[in-house]
Amino acid sequence: MAATAKAAPALARERNLSQYLPDAQLALQNLTQHKLRSLLTMLGMIFGVAAVVSMLSIGAGAQQQVMAFIEQMGLRNIVVEAKEVNNWQDLQKIRKISPGLTFQDYRVIRADVGGITQSSPRKRFTPTKLLPKPEREMPVVYGI
């Protein structure tokens, strides 16, 4: 225990520049002796840094595009939509209680809410059949 306590201050001593010179010479000697290994290591570091930089730039570009899209929509937009129901029985239950949003509702909102500069009612349709059949999801059609 006493030997380790005395060795710790010796390890913590500062080294001057002349003490690093043999280590630097050994490092350069190893680089020149193992050229392929050195080249592959450098390529790995270069491609690794390039991959990180490219991923960060792609992420920043995507963020700017999303922010531009949100600004294009405007901060003062309000979208009111009826709740979508996939089951026919659930739709019939809801329709007994409420017909959903109607053009009368649109006209009342337009008349009662002040400060509306533009408005447009719309209806969302999902087609049941398309020819030719789409490869991806079915498109959504809006009637305005």
**pLDDT value at residue 4:** 53
> CA 140 to CA 88: how far, in whole Å?
19
**pLDDT value at residue 104:** 81
Which residue matches tokens 């498109």? 139
**pLDDT value at residue 11:** 57
Written as six digits, the tokens of 90 are 């659930």
Is the sign of the CA dihedral 41, 45, 50, 52 positive or negative? positive
Name residue 106's amino acid: Y
**What is the domain partition of the chain in residue ranges?**
19-73, 78-118
**pLDDT value at residue 76:** 65
**pLDDT value at residue 83:** 67
Cis check: omega of the bond before 132, within 30 degrees of 0? yes
Average pLDDT, consecutive stretches of 10 residues, N- to C-terminus, the chain (144 residues): 54 73 91 93 96 95 86 70 73 74 80 79 74 75 74
**pLDDT value at residue 58:** 95
Which residue matches tokens 């019939």? 92
**pLDDT value at residue 59:** 93
